[in-house]
Amino acid sequence: MRVLSVTSECAPLVKTGGLADVTGALPRALAIEGVQMRTLLPGYPAVMAALDENAVRIADFSDLFGGPARLLSGTAAGLDLLVIDAPHLFDRPGGPYIGPTGADWPDNPERFAALSWVGAYIAANGAAEWQPLILHGHDWQAGFMPEYLRQMGSADIRTVLTIHNIAFHGIVGPDRLASLRLDPARFHSGGFEYWGAISALKAGLIGADALTTVSPRYAEELMTAEFGIGFDGVMRSRREQLAGILNGIDTEIWNPATDPQISTYQKPQQKQANKAALRAEFGLPASDGPLCIIVSRMTHQKGLDLVLEVMPTLLAHGGQLALLGTGERDLELAFSALAEREANVAVRIGYDEGLSHRMMAGGDAILVPSRFEPCGLTQLYGLRYGTLPVVALTGGLADTVINASPAALARGVATGLQFSPVTAEAFRNAIVTMCNLYSDRNTWSKMQRNAMAQPVGWDQSARVYARLYERLAASE
């Protein structure tokens, strides 16, 4: 089973969030199921630098959305890659979507249309005697693939689109139809037109043979007006082609038994050593209360404003907070100011992969109060390291954490806490419950052991993806 994964980011080569972790882990997980997956990536500077010296040119494009380009085949970080070497599109400073000034690149529509177009080209024509049976695209950046396959006369090639976050639509005005190489006849409500504009995401939602999301609950939520963000009608119309497949994490990279970033083999009774080291790293004093951590983009979607509202309650119960993240400027400033006022709050603005591992190992609880969360990975990391998640009851957070309800505690199966609705008051109540549970050392230790025993890897979900590919291939 040959599958081409088409994505705008892939860990550890280029990462802005969970999408990269998923696309980086899937090829290894699927190999066990007999799936040969190659990953198509834009040739960002970091990707080009990571390619092995044996990378070979397998195709040339005289004009790829504004300039010449090459398609390279090689390996990096244990991944089989196809890389679009197009300096006019991808050889830039900054992140994959945003330049050094913090603004989106104005030609992002063309940059990622090129990614979709090359993915369709490989499926239609092959690449160095390798041709995928299935095209698996991720988010709006791969949304135009079904349209380009149609134009290439290869609409019978099967496609999958995974929605990691439906909030990002890939919107651009109809004046870009020509520059995006789109068929004007498809610019209508049954095609890629969306309220008078072009939507790359809608092109994928309408055109892909199968749609997946990153958790079962998020699949259900996307069919509602509250969470569908304008696409709930499209999602309901494609209910039969939609599947919620829970994300996993790379349990080799996130392995408390072998993690080089932490000081001890992680068992609940050994949490104290890592916690002491983490407090020292953040400059926090000793405390009898729980050390809570946050590793997150600092946005209102992630509920970081709610954290500010409940901090007095956490601190009053002897709790502490260590935060690592970057994002919306008002939240960065608010948390930095809080850390200056409160000795039991420490904040690092930015991202540090090694520090995130040490935080998972040393924290008692991880706070994830997202207003919506397609899957979430940080709560899975927390489970793996015995750092109990306190999460909003939404999306994948609802699917992966067993709430410490009286019934779950009585049965001895709880792995964290959930709260609903997503308000400061409900979150505050969960914080109080968490602090009370923490003071009961036997109950807390039992919850830690439960958390660390949860299956958070890719085994089950990889099997589901493999069966999906098989069904699609058989339907040709």
Annotated binding site: 15
Rounded Cα gap, residues 179 and 63, in angstroms: 12
Question: CB neighbours of 319 closer than 8 A, spacing ≥ 6?
Answer: 287, 289, 290, 291, 292, 344, 431, 435
Rounded Cα gap, residues 335 and 319, in angstroms: 16
E strands present in 8-68: 36-42, 56-61
Rounded Cα gap, residues 220 and 242, in angstroms: 9
Give the annotated binding-site residues for ADP-alpha-D-glucose: 15
Rounded Cα gap, residues 472 and 309, in angstroms: 48
Rounded Cα gap, residues 134 and 472, in angstroms: 8
Rounded Cα gap, residues 73 and 70, in angstroms: 10
Rounded Cα gap, residues 444 and 436, in angstroms: 10
E strands present in 105-187: 134-138, 158-163, 171-172
Q: Which amino acid is at 383?
A: L
